[in-house]
Amino acid sequence: MEVEKIVALAILIALASGGVSGDPDYHDALSKSLLFFQGQRSGKLPPDQSLTWRANSGLADGSAENVDLTGGYYDAGDNVKFGLPMAFTTTMLAWSVLEFGRWMPKELNHAREAVRWGTDYLLKASAPLPSALYVQVGDPNADHDCWERPEDMSTPRSVFKVTPSTPGTEVAAETAAALVAASLVFKHVDVGYSKKLLQTAKKAFAFADRYRGNYSDSLASVVCPFYCSYTGFQDELLWGAAWLYKATRNSSYLSFAHSLGINYNSETFSWDSKIPGAAVLLARESVVDENEAASGFREQAERFVCNVLPKSSSVSVNYTPGGLLYMLNGSNMQYVTSTTFLLSTYAKYLKTSSQTMKCGDVVVTSLRLRKLVKKQVDYILGDNPSRMSYMVGYGDEFPRRIHHRGSSIPSFRLNAEAIGCDEGFQFYYDDKPNPNELTGAVVGGPDENDKFTDDREDYSQSEPTTYINAPLVGTLSYLTASFRPRERCLSVKN
């Protein structure tokens, strides 16, 4: 082989294995992070389904109430369609597209598809508004007693709803947020769909506001302890109003947000806790658009940033010795991805408006925030003490025994004979790697000492969830744009 060819080949190999500079391959990780959502699909799969070990499932979902509730996403390693995390996942996928879509040209269609898979279902769930909103399909206690592929489910596909007399403000307001955010994603792509999303969102929000109550009270044992609402519903009302303000510019939503008088003392942004997200979303109005009416939200957003910034005088979160943000033992990675999404977004707002912020006396630039984001994402992708990528299918070392029914049981495509509720546990307790690669799935991650056991039974470490991946889609897109001067050309105004 001629020398040039060898050199060219070496460069290609270096690029394929993560880039010459030692940076992770964010493009590859981005593609994979979206592929994961295909693995979580419920309903009839389309012909272009790329994760081919999955097949149709839940095709009679909704029949218990004579409605069509097929589609949507399984939340994690089980086969229940939980409304609150599904709506939050959809909101975060949509927000990822809105902030960072221009940096994901090759993946933009896949990202929109992932949003739409969520909103098509949420529209079905919203059809009976204003008299009811469907918020869950599947009996979670029965489901969790089994280890079955979604294609084989034999447990009751019970349907749960919230109504004026059994309200669920947080799930209704989060559904509204998802529909509004998605309406912005499709605004110039599918005008009719976008309008329908926004109209339905307004109905969902009015329902949430008018019939106030915690869904954990109304639905008790079918949502708790799985997705019990611990923070109540004020934060979701704020979040829903913030999104409606963004989409409609109707100031009554901003006044509503102010009128909630929320105490912002929280660094937690999750399917349950929306305050930092709402603050950052509304802060844009002040930082980028110089809208004085939103300056209070800017202060709250910056307080959040200072609370998570290592070495800031007001830091109130922990980091592992290896440098990973560590907030909770259960599925910690969800907080890493949600927090880094907000930091990426805030860094973008600062950069777009050529501003900096302060934590105490320390000036914080957008570059500083970006470095923290990069550190966290690089950790996820393998730059960590265990030299382990926490994204399935990315890099050489990644979790092989994830806590996920479909991934751990031989594919329905290879063996369509039903594997029953108890029969499946032979695969759960098996030491062998999962037979089906749930490509792109990011798991709960290591413990507070950077240790990871790759053990299917340790669900707090080995279970993937849709709300770990959804914000990561945006953050990975943000990191695909270079740090170097080239970034300036890409940083056009939003």
Ligand X SMILES: *[C@@H]1O[C@H](CO)[C@@H](O)[C@H](O)[C@H]1NC(C)=O
Which residues are designated catalytic? 403, 454, 463
Separation between Cα atoms, residue 147 and residue 145, nearest integer Å: 7
Minimum CB separation of residue 167 from ligand X in Å reads: 9
Q: Are 214 and 229 in contact (CB under 8 A)?
A: yes
Q: Binding to ligand X (CB under 6 A): which residues in 315-354?
A: 328-329
Among 214, 286, 331, 462, binds ligand X (CB under 6 A): 214
Separation between Cα atoms, residue 17 and residue 396, nearest integer Å: 9
Among 252, 265, 449, 482, binds ligand X (CB under 6 A): 252
Q: Is 206 left (phi over 0), alpha (psi -120 to 50) or beta?
A: alpha
> What is the per-residue burial (b if ≥16 Cβ within 10 Å, else e) of 339-368?
bbbbbbbbbbbbbbbeeebebeeeebebeb
Q: For residues 31 and 320, which CB has a smaller minimum distance to ligand X in the complex?
A: 320
- 449 touching ligand X, by CB under 6 A: no
Q: For residues 140 and 213, which CB has a smaller minimum distance to ligand X in the complex?
A: 213
Task: Identify residue 274 by its one-letter amino acid code.
Answer: K
Separation between Cα atoms, residue 185 and residue 94, nearest integer Å: 6
Minimum CB separation of residue 328 from ligand X in Å reads: 5
Minimum CB separation of residue 327 from ligand X in Å reads: 7
Task: Identify residue 133 by its one-letter amino acid code.
Answer: L
Among 141, 250, 316, 449, binds ligand X (CB under 6 A): 250
Among 65, 448, 455, 487, binds ligand X (CB under 6 A): 448
Q: Are 412 and 152 in contact (CB under 8 A)?
A: yes
Separation between Cα atoms, residue 68 and residue 330, nearest integer Å: 34
Q: For residues 214 and 340, which CB has a smaller minimum distance to ligand X in the complex?
A: 214
- 130 touching ligand X, by CB under 6 A: no
Minimum CB separation of residue 378 from ligand X in Å reads: 22
* Apex 59 CA angle, 53 and 63, nearest 5: 160
Separation between Cα atoms, residue 62 and residue 160, nearest integer Å: 10
Binding residue count for ligand X, defined by CB under 6 A: 9
Q: Residue with the closest Cβ to ligand X?
A: 232
Q: Binding to ligand X (CB under 6 A): which residues in 174-213?
A: 213
Minimum CB separation of residue 176 from ligand X in Å reads: 12
Instruction: Kindly state the DSSP code that residue 41 receives in the 8-state scheme.
Output: B
Q: Which residues bind ligand X (CB under 6 A)?
A: 213-214, 217, 232, 250, 252, 328-329, 448
